[in-house]
Structure 1
């Protein structure tokens, strides 16, 4: 399975879980409380972790850091894009008062609207994806603190 197929599967899965979680919060009236968006990071993190883990299991010894990193980024970016589109549809068509209720928590001196809200949601998702992918790749990359890793490092220095 290619890293794109893994990214698509996990990216869609993450976005579906994010949407379900948001709708559950909406059902109990907690969707305007930003503190609950912390769980979005947890959902995204678990999905990215398992996407990279799945890709590494598929590639085995052919696993490359760059490809694993791209798998994590693609997975998280896809999930963020899908959730941001849903968020925009929800805020503009389903619950017209949602954006105003959420934006009332922000400083009244700024000109805020749905566009800025969607931008913030997307940036938060992209930033979360980047940080989590960098963090998880530290777990999945091969260690150079082994005899084989040290031999690999010294052979590269000699050939340079």
Structure 2
């Protein structure tokens, strides 16, 4: 199971990093609203991880599925935050200042505030998407008689 969430966590992180680099090359990386597309990247990766895990099991337990989905997102979040920390502290120090200015915050708050918000956004996105996808993928507890009334 850990192989699945590490593999898909790394793939999600690669997608997030590529998206950031592309927006940076286009000069759009300073618009925080474009980070909403990160949710799509997380969603695709988490759904793929859950489907891969479910396909390899005869019995799909909700707890194990939740663990795979959340941990895939958590691995991706921490890889992406490390990338962003290196980027903001070493490569593009003006980026953090511009983001904080758009938030109407004082730069004395520091770049660390952005990193903490990235961690919180990534982990919360992982939880919400995993809960949503588990509703689609979990085994039904309906009786045989009740299943005839479902799609």
**TM bracket, shorter-chain basis:** over 0.9
1:50 aligns with 2:54: no
Deviation per CA, 1:106-125, whole angstroms, max 9, x where unpaired?
12468521111100011000
Secondary structure, counterpart of 1:40 in structure 2: helix
Q: What TM-score do the two structures reach when normalised by structure 2?
A: 0.92
Q: Does 1:14 align with 2:12?
A: yes
Q: CA deviation at 1:4?
A: 0.6
- Distance in 2 (CA, whole Å) between partners of 1:109 and 1:50 is 40
> How many residues end up aligned between the 2 structures?
147
CA shift, 1:144, in A, is: 1.4
What's the CA shift string for 1:22-76, capped at 9, x where partnerless? 00111111111011101101000110001001000011x2211111100001100
Give TM-score scaled by structure 1 length: 0.87
14 and 119 in structure 1: CA distance in 2 versus 1, 3 angstrom threshold:
same
Gaps of 5+ in 1: 151-160
Q: Is the 8 A contact 1:143 1:149 kept in 2?
A: no
- Matched with 1:94 is 91
> Could you tell me whether the CA contact under 8 Å between 2:49 and 2:69 is conserved in 1?
yes
Pick from 113, 137, 140: which aligns with 1:140? Answer: 137
Structure 2 unmatched runs, 5+: none
Partner in structure 2 of residue 32 of structure 1: 30
Which runs of structure 2 are paired with 1:67-106 in the superposition (5 Å)? 67-106=64-103
Task: Work out the CA distance in 2 between the residues paired with 1:52 and 1:99.
Answer: 34
* 1:64/1:29 CA distance change after superposition, 3 Å: same
Q: Distance in 2 between matches of 1:144 and 1:97?
A: 54
In structure 1, what is the Cα distance between the partners aligned to 2:17 and 2:122? Answer: 13
Larger Rg: 1
CA RMSD, aligned part only?
1.7
C-alpha separation in 1, matches of 2:105 and 2:37: 27
Deviates most, 141-150 or 91-100: 141-150
